[in-house]
């Protein structure tokens, strides 16, 4: 119930408490919107011992919250001013499902907008340390750590992937599929790799636009190619011959 007091209605109740109002019924009636369904619970939560000392503590806390909110608003305005020349790049990244305006700003701040410094998407992924490398010694794997990259970039990508995991999209399904098979940490790295690849193409090509492939893309396309590859391997193993696929001739116009 404490979390319900963080909104506009909650602040109004707290200010009323600070001002001397102690009647839980009166305070609960200050609820707005969906909080009005919780009026009985609010009455119970607001019933108790609250004196002038508590009012003083609450007033002090609210002043600190208001000061922090003002600082955040000032920083947001400053960020908007500084990133204005790169608004087009921010808008392109904002099109990607899972990336909001704030995440797009953070990604542009850490990666930049000039992709000529990364010859390919793989170079960006490698620089960001989102391409795991298997280390082997005497035929034994020693793990596949990606190494230490930019912690702020990694944090932003981690938040984006966490949001994507709950979406009905290609990347969301990719995360869930990999998390089941390889674990959440490896799924985050793999989807982060895909995300950075998409970002590189969007920023490298002014005409590029993001289009989600859909959650069923893997089954309809990738699974088909994997099954095709497996069947070819099986046939080669059985026959001892190399198998090469050729397109089927179009017989619709044949005599």
> How confident is the prediction along the chain (255 residues), in pLDDT tens digits per residue?
444 455 667 788 888 888 888 888 998 888 888 888 888 988 888 888 888 898 899 899 989 988 999 999 999 899 888 888 888 899 899 989 889 889 999 999 899 999 999 999 999 999 998 876 555 555 555 555 556 778 899 999 999 999 999 999 999 999 998 999 889 999 999 999 999 999 999 999 988 889 888 888 777 666 677 777 888 888 888 888 888 877 777 656 554
Q: Specify the number of domains making up the chain.
A: 3
Q: Using the 3D structure, point to which of 56, 83, 110 is the last residue of a domain.
A: 83
Q: Using the 3D structure, point to which of 44, 67, 83 is the last residue of a domain.
A: 83
- Within this chain, do residues 91 and 116 fall inside the same structural domain, yes or no? yes
Residue 128, in any domain of the structure = yes
pLDDT at 70: 94
Residue 251, in any domain of the structure = no
- Within this chain, do residues 91 and 78 fall inside the same structural domain, yes or no? no
Q: Which of 227, 243, 233, 146 is nearest to 192 (CA)?
A: 146
pLDDT at 189: 92
Q: Using the 3D structure, point to which of 83, 101, 134 is the last residue of a domain.
A: 83
- Within this chain, do residues 102 and 150 fall inside the same structural domain, yes or no? yes
Residue 173, in any domain of the structure = yes
pLDDT at 1: 43
- Within this chain, do residues 98 and 79 fall inside the same structural domain, yes or no? no
Q: Which of 133, 135, 90 is nearest to 113 (CA)?
A: 90
- Within this chain, do residues 73 and 133 fall inside the same structural domain, yes or no? no
pTM of full prediction above 0.85 = no
- Within this chain, do residues 98 and 45 fall inside the same structural domain, yes or no? no
pLDDT at 3: 44
- Within this chain, do residues 103 and 174 fall inside the same structural domain, yes or no? yes
- Within this chain, do residues 91 and 198 fall inside the same structural domain, yes or no? yes
Domain that holds residue 129: 87-204
Residue 212, in any domain of the structure = no
Residue 137, in any domain of the structure = yes
């Amino acid at each position: 119930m404490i979390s319900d007091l963080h909104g506009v209605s909650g602040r109004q109740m707290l200010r009323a408490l600070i001002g001397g109002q102690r009647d839980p019924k009166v305070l609960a009636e200050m609820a707005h919107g969906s909080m009005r369904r919780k009026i009985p619970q609010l009455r119970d939560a607001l019933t108790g011992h609250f004196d002038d000392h508590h009012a003083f503590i609450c007033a002090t806390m609210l002043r600190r919250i208001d000061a922090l909110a003002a600082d955040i608003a000032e920083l947001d305005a400053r960020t908007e001013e500084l990133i204005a020349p790169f608004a087009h790049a921010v808008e392109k990244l904002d099109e990607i499902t899972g990336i909001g305006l704030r995440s797009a700003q953070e990604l542009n701040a850490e990666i930049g907008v000039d992709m000529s410094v990364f010859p390919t998407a793989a170079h960006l992924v490698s620089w960001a340390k989102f391409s795991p490398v298997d280390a082997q010694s005497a035929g034994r794997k020693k793990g596949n750590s990606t190494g230490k990259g930019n912690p702020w970039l990694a944090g932003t990508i981690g938040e984006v992937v966490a949001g994507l995991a709950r979406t009905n999209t290609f990347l969301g399904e990719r995360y869930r599929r990999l998390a089941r098979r390889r674990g959440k940490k490896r799924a985050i790295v793999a989807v982060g790799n895909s995300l950075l690849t998409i970002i590189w193409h969007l920023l490298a090509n002014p005409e590029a636009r993001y289009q989600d492939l859909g959650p069923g893309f893997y089954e309809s396309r990738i699974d088909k190619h994997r099954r095709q590859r497996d069947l070819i391997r099986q046939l080669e193993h059985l026959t001892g011959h190399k198998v090469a696929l050729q397109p089927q001739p179009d017989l619709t116009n044949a005599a």
